[in-house]
Structure 1
Amino acid sequence: MALMPVAEAKDRILKDAKALPRENVPLHHCAGRVLAAGIKAKRDQPPFPASAMDGYAVRFADVQAVPARLKVIGTAPAGHGFGGTVKAGQAVRIFTGAPVPEGADTVVIQENTEAADGQVAVTVAAQRAGQHIRRKGLDFAKGEELLPRGTLLGAREIGLAAAMNWPDLPVTKRPKVAIFTTGDELVSPGTTPRPDQIVSSNSFALSAFVRRYGGEAVDLGIIPDNLKAISRAVRKASGAEILLTTGGASVGDHDLVQAALKAEGIALDFWKIALRPGKPLMFARNGTQRILGLPGNPVSALVCSRIFLKPLLSALLGLPPAEDVVKARLGSDLPANDQRQDYLRATVARGGDGSFEATPFKLQDSSMQRALTQAHGLIVRPPFAPAVRAGDLVDLLLLDF
């Protein structure tokens, strides 16, 4: 059986993947969400000509020549506009953010004035009409679309939406991702394993990965190597957009995930791809649900998630495809590659000119999680790539989870 190329596997996984339905979410809970529709400003910002400084609102005609002595007829703090009109020879004490009163067209800063006995002397001439005034709509105008569909909402975008007077936002529903790990050899962290057991880490790592890229993780726990138990877990996950399994995807006597899917009437789309680490990746569909059977090795599971799960989550969230492969100079020699596409864990340095240099770890065993934690990227080596020397350019997939 020929191994499927990585690109073909990715195309099959992403086929027909589109944004999930929208829901309205209060602004306080929108961090990390994706806009399902563009939003327009509901008001001008600022909504009135506003003072940019503490000082005095005056008529420009009165302060072109100095000294100029003006009568102070009122005060305009922020949030409390002056209701009258500024006429010739008059001024209003004004503070930053307050509306500029009718009749005034300039603000002189308080450092250029001397106030006493209900009057203010302007000691430095104004340079132009409109000085120190933010015009109405300077930042944005009512009806402008400032945040388009597909925007990933962070602090800046949420602050802008609030200023646009949106108390909640239309966002794409989070893809629900059910996760279970199979294996009698696995125990939860904090317990005491038997001599023939190991501590399970995949479900914790994958849950964090799913949340990092906008999904909702549902951990179904560790499932024993039992066909009926695995079948029950598959049924329990039926309401999720994605089901992730780890371990049990091969064809050994205790690798039962494929058999459980078959028992539930779910046909396998493909199994085994030309990838290292991650050759035994399995993919199936159960209606609209996508099922990824990830390898049990922790590094393989996360590398496969970076290659296949991240773009799937992005598609379901309505995010555009990411161009996340960059060119990097190789930090050490590499031999010719075989028929599997290699993803080599590497440290990454950034040169003064912004270029990347990637140096692969000498040991690339897929069970070694420490190296993945220390890696900043994955060097991508196509099938049958020739030997390369230090300084040659290679493709680099940056890690950000």
Structure 2
Amino acid sequence: MTRPALLSLDEALPQLLTQAHALAGAQWVSTFDADGRVLAQDVIAGLQVPPQDNSSMDGYALRAADCEQAGAVLRVTQRIPAGTHGTQLNAGEAARIFTGAPIPPGADAVVMQEECEALEGHQIKVNKAVPAAQWIRRSGEDVTRGAKVLSQGTRLTPAELGLAASIGLAQLQVSARPRVALFSTGDELVMPGDVAPEAMSAGAIYNSNRFFLRALLQRFGCEVTDLGIVPDKRDATMAALHDAARHHDLILTSGGVSVGEEDHIKPAVEALGVLNLWQLAIKPGKPFAFGKVHRDSGIESVGDACHFMGLPGNPVSSFVTFLLLVRPFVLALQGVTKTDIARTEMQAHFDWPRADKRREFLRVKRNPAGGLDLFHNQSSGVLTSAVWGDGVVDNPAGQTIAKGDNVRFISFAEWLA
């Protein structure tokens, strides 16, 4: 049998994303509860921020023309805390002002209180020359009325929530969360807590993938239905896929996407829909499946089919392929327009003398010297490499690495943000 040609990541990802249309069903949520959600419409400012010129210091508002030289004496005629408004300031006068308070009419500068000396009779001596506009925050210098401050497709972080609140938005319209059904396949899998380590039978392993995949899906905004472990049987696999497709936007599985006799995902998906079984030119993570499982007619749902993605069973392979392929897919389902991750050029403090035919994602950690150290075991089954490391080197196919070479680093912190 002729093996299918390996598909590059740069070929696979665009094909995948062409299928990831933003889900219908945008909803309004409290700005308090919108962290991690994706904007379904642009946010336009209905006011200026700040709304008027205000002081950026505790001190005195004055006319710069009265303080062209150090030593000017001014009469303090008013006091302006934040939240109040002052009155007209005339020549030779100053206003005691506090941070955030509006600049009174007639004033065009603020001097810090530390640069003034209090005198008798409600007077101050200004001990330095004061330039016009000093310590004044101008109206609209942060946000101007009518400006687009946040774009549709933005994945919201605490900073965006604060910005939305600063223009008075108590609610935001956000995209629907993808409904994802998650299950693992494999008779060798057992759940932590069900069997004690000393009672594990030969060949049994704990299902680690289920834990990190569920956490990853939730981190990227999905509503997850955990269907547990499906036995390695054709009828059980088909039943799980059929039921999951009815009420979900995506089915994500781990294991069973190879072509062995106990790998039933491929024939089951093909019987219920369509499947592309890709052999990816990446390491770890060669086997990857993508397709659709048809829904029963007459069931109210988005579209007539549920997306399907099958990840390899080895934990690091599953972890890496999720970040490379599933992450951008579920973000795109929410309308995110920018799903790529920046690569940072850093120096390798290790040797990698054996080039691979596949594009490699090597688990590494930044060191105090500003370079990257390599985890000693890059096997696809060694999950400790992803815990020890703080990112990966994206190493092109056929590329060796010598200590001192510049490499492309992807931070887990940015990938998982």
Matched, 1:24 2:28: yes
SS, match of residue 170 in structure 1: strand
Compute the displacement of 1:312 (Å). Answer: 1.6
**Residues 33 and 172 in structure 1, CA contact (< 8 A), matched pair in contact too:** yes
**What SS is found at the alignment partner of 1:98?**
coil
Q: CA deviation at 1:328?
A: 5.8
Rounded to whole Å, the distance in 2 between the matches of 1:202 and 1:113 is: 68
Equivalent AA in structure 1 for residue 176 of structure 2: K
| 2: CA distance, partners of 1:133 / 1:387 | 56
Instruction: State the shift of 1:179 in Å.
Output: 0.9
The equivalent residue for 1:255 is: 263
The 1-side partners of 2:315 and 2:233 are apart by 21
Who is 1:313 aligned against?
A: 330
Report the equivalent of 1:290.
307
AA at the equivalent of 2:260: G
Q: Which moved more, 1:314-323 or 1:385-394?
A: 385-394
Map of 1:281 onto structure 2: 288
Alignment of 1:1-400 (within 5 A): 1-7=3-9, 8-21=11-24, 22-64=26-68, 66-70=71-75, 72-82=76-86, 84-111=87-114, 112-117=116-121, 119-124=122-127, 126-192=129-195, 194-196=200-202, 197-238=204-245, 239-263=247-271, 265-286=272-293, 287-317=304-334, 318-325=336-343, 331-338=350-357, 341-349=358-366, 357=372, 359=374, 361=376, 363-375=377-389, 376-382=391-397, 385=398, 390=403, 398-400=411-413
Name the SS of the counterpart of 2:253 in structure 1. strand
How much has 1:327 moved relative to structure 2? Answer: 5.6
| 1:268-306 per-position Cα deviation (integer Å, ceiling 9, x unaligned) | 222544444333322212355321111222122112212
* Matched-pair contact (CA < 8 Å) for 1:227–1:256: yes
SS at match of 2:240: helix
Calculate percent identity across the aligned residue pairs.
Answer: 34
Partner Cα distance (1:110, 1:346) in 2: 54
User: Any conservation in 1 of the 2:362–2:395 contact (CA below 8 Å)?
Assistant: no
Look up the equivalent residue of 1:307 and give its one-letter code: L
Matches of 2:111 and 2:252, distance apart in 1: 65
Deviation at 1:109, TM superposition (A): 3.5
Task: Output the TM-score relative to the length of structure 2.
Answer: 0.81
SS at match of 2:60: strand
Q: Cα–Cα, structure 1 residues 15 and 129, in superposed 2: closer, same or farther, change >3 Å?
A: closer
Distance 2:108 2:344 in 1: 53
Structure 2 unaligned residues grouped into runs of 5+: 294-303
How many angstroms does 1:113 deviate by? Answer: 3.4
Change (3 A) 1:41 1:2: same
User: Against the structure 1 CA distance between its residues 326 and 69, is the aligned structure 2 distance closer, same or farther, given a 3 Å change threshold?
Assistant: closer
- 1:344–1:360 contact (8 Å) kept in structure 2: no
- Aligned in 2, Cα 1:42/1:268: closer, same or farther, shift over 3 Å? same
**Contact 2:45 2:147 survives alignment (8 Å):** yes
Count of aligned positions: 390
With over 3 angstroms needed to count, the CA separation of the structure-2 counterparts of 1:92 and 1:246, relative to structure 1, is: same
Counterpart residue number, 2:299: none
Cα distance in structure 2, aligned partners of 1:380 and 1:90: 68
State how far apart, in whole Å, the 2-side matches of 1:116 and 1:200 are.
78
Structure 1, unaligned runs of 5 or more: none
Q: Which amino acid in structure 2 is aligned with residue 256 of structure 1?
A: H
SS at match of 1:237: helix
Residues 290, 136 of structure 1: CA spacing in aligned structure 2 closer, same or farther, 3 A cutoff? same
Deviation of 1:201 after TM superposition, in Å, equals 1.0
**Cα offset, 1:61, TM superposition:** 4.7
**Alignment partners' CA distance in 2, 1:144 and 1:54:** 30
| Structure 1 counterpart of 2:21, one-letter code | K
Letter in 2 for 1:2: P
Give the conservation status (yes or no) of the 8 Å contact 1:328–1:358: no
Q: Distance in 1 between matches of 2:138 and 2:407?
A: 52
Contact 2:27 2:175 in 1 (8 A): yes
Matched-pair contact (CA < 8 Å) for 2:43–2:149: yes
In the aligned structure 1, how far is the partner of 2:18 from the partner of 2:373? Answer: 32
Relative to structure 2, which stretch is displaced further, 242-251 or 103-112?
Answer: 103-112
Distance (whole Å) between structure 1 residues aligned to residue 162 and residue 15 of structure 2:
39
Q: Is the 8 A contact 2:52 2:102 kept in 1?
A: yes
* Greater mean deviation of Cα atoms: 163-172 or 52-61: 52-61
So what's the TM-score if we normalise by structure 1? 0.83
**Do the aligned partners of 1:108 and 1:126 also contact (CA within 8 Å) in 2?**
no
* CA shift in 2, pair 1:121/1:275, >3 Å: closer
Equivalent pair of 1:78/1:95 in contact (CA under 8 Å): yes
Shift, 1:202, TM fit:
0.8
Distance 1:179 1:314 in 2: 17
CA contact 1:267–1:284 (8 Å) conserved in 2: yes
Q: Find the aligned partners of 1:115 and 1:394 in 2 and give their Cα distance.
A: 65
Offset at residue 217 of structure 1 (A): 3.1
